[in-house]
Structure 1
């Protein structure tokens, strides 16, 4: 076994498979055929002398050996990419931090955190990508993002079962609220009783994946009436503003409510809690990554205080 003969192409393919979670998605990202991706993975496994990718019905996942190879490969690939940029006369990206975030964070939290960083850290570059929790965790494991901002619901299980465990820090914890049209009968009070939610028309996220029925108050009796589905949180809120239904919202979206929408707490029944967490791989943290983490946390806390204040 001579692992020094592994190609950079094979390592890039391994990283894409880890990031995208399937051979098909990795092939699409890289512009390869699926059979070409399979050949590259088989080649690197042959050189490693062990299975690196677990082939599953629902996609692909790295084995423990695959995670080890990927961690080392990411360092090599980043150095090669940095060298290519320098040879091309482009500035080095030593001050670049890659942040992944869940969809509703783009309505207020992420833009405000980036604005604060631009004022306090003008030399720091932050690139971002939106994704589901599953996609962002894969991106962390694959070395595609440095930090992942995700929302977690009870019972607050680990974000994945792979080793080593991710380092996860809770930024804020809050309850869900209800977004309702300002002219709706339920908008007259300071809160909504859970019993009043029966028979309401809901605006929900598409079912399936991490966002199953996101937008419907959990635990309601009977089958909820889904009037509209939309993945984008601002689209949901605009539908609410138009009087077409109601939806659930995290407190952090209070700063992004359009005109004609009220956000109210729900009383009675079990309260739905959400944690906003920032995850990263274990190990030393660079100062740029630490600065971005501090800015995101300060912004999350500030939005929370403004909503409740």
Structure 2
């Protein structure tokens, strides 16, 4: 086989991002270019690498095997480039992922905690949805990720190899509303009152859940604004442009003009935070310990610690 780094990086990007479109955006290609690279790579290895499914492409067994080797090949090439340039390798680093609300509430405190307890540890981070973070950990582009799950509190992940899942905290869910106007001075809001409200939600990708809308509302929610940026969501709420959901128990620093209210007359909604990783290391262990320390000072309740394999 004659394998060049370019299609191997494309393979990794698709496995990480979950779709050909997202991989093309990351790499600066067109979607048709990514599709052609995958087709050429499949011809070269003589096997189908992806199953095309409604929720996005899924790696076949051959694709998983090639992905594992691609990671090693690209890491070796990167190491060679560092050596040739005389750039020292980062021996102690951790690549961290978090869903947006966790990044907003936890990341600054986590970095401050690690700065005190492990000053030689270099942390890089990025945000994504929980399904995308699970893919990134398995693909090897993240070392550990903070994800959330709904009851029965298992990350929706059945891929191989299995990920280690460490429970961190249980959180409730509230609705962020303008401090003035219809809900001013209220101690709560009913599900019926929310049904007709304009919602501010994250853009939906494939089969991933719609984030920012209260689950189980009667009828189809009216999403007025879509944005991934957490601050933009809350600023839009403060301006009276709609409402959005927020986790209860992360000590979120809500901007002026926004209040978070419980929802009454509907079953309670809960979320569980997990730290997920593929391979244990001192750096990953230090990060998980720091996450626990940060959450110990928040309002979230903490489930009995366990390490489990998602089913």
TM range (shorter): 0.7 to 0.9
Please name the residue that 2:165 is paired with: 168
Equivalent position of 2:87 in the other structure? 90
* Partner residue, 1:291: 286
User: Of residues 279, 289, 296 in structure 1, which corresponds to 2:276?
Assistant: 279
Could you tell me how far apart the structure 2 residues matched to 1:198 and 1:27 are? 37
Give the 3 Å change call, closer, same or farther, for CA 240–254 of structure 1 in structure 2.
Answer: farther
Partner of 1:14: 11
CA distance in 1, matches of 2:70, 2:181: 56
Q: CA deviation at 1:55?
A: 4.2
CA contact (8 A) 2:250 2:300 kept: no
Q: 1:119 to 1:104 in 2, by over 3 A?
A: same
Superposed, 1:1-309 pairs within 5 Å as: 6-9=3-6, 11-23=8-20, 25-26=22-23, 29-30=26-27, 33-34=33-34, 35-43=36-44, 45-46=45-46, 50-56=47-53, 59-209=56-206, 212-252=209-249, 254-281=251-278, 283=279, 285-305=280-300
Distance, in Å, in 1 between the alignment partners of 2:91 and 2:249 is: 31
Distance 1:134 1:224 in 2: 22
How many residue pairs are counted as aligned between the two chains?
297
Q: How far apart in 2 are the matches of 1:166 and 1:238?
A: 36
CA contact (8 A) 1:27 1:37 kept: no
Equivalents in 2 of 1:22, 1:207: separation in Å?
A: 13
Structure 1's 220 and 113: CA in aligned 2 closer, same or farther, altered over 3 A? same
Which secondary structure does the structure 2 equivalent of 1:128 belong to?
Answer: strand
Post-superposition Cα deviations, 1:61-104, rounded to whole Å, max 9, x if no partner, equal 22223323423442343233223213311121121111111122
The structure where helix makes up a greater share of residues is: 1
Whole-angstrom distance in 2 between the partners of 1:154 and 1:37: 37
Task: Tell me, yes or no, if the aligned pair for 1:109 and 1:303 is still in contact at 8 Å.
Answer: no
Write the deviation string for residues 3-49 of structure 1: whole angstroms up to 9, x where unpaired. Answer: 7x655555434323322334555455446633234213432x23xxx
CA deviation after TM superposition for structure 1 residue 116, in Å: 1.8
Native 8 Å contact 1:181 1:261 kept in 2: yes
User: 2:146·2:275 contact (CA, 8 Å) conserved in 1?
Assistant: yes
Q: Distance in 1 between matches of 2:175 and 2:25?
A: 39
**Contact 2:55 / 2:207 at 8 angstroms: preserved in 1?**
no
- Distance 1:235-1:211 versus aligned 2 partners, 3 A rule: farther
Residues 111-156 of structure 1: CA distance to partner in whole angstroms, max 9, x if unpaired?
2211221232221111112112232222222211111211212344
Task: Evaluate the alpha carbon distance shift between residue 210 and residue 114 of structure 1 in structure 2; reply closer, same or farther with a 3 A threshold.
Answer: farther
Question: Any unmatched runs of 5+ in structure 1?
Answer: none
Paired residues of 1:172 and 1:276 also in contact (CA < 8 A): yes
Contact kept in structure 2, 1:10 and 1:41, CA below 8 Å: no
Checking the alignment, whether the CA contact within 8 Å between 2:171 and 2:300 is kept in structure 1 is: no
TM-score of the pair, normalised by structure 1: 0.82
Structure whose CA Rg is larger: 1
Mapped to 2, the partners of 1:79 and 1:121 lie a distance apart of 27
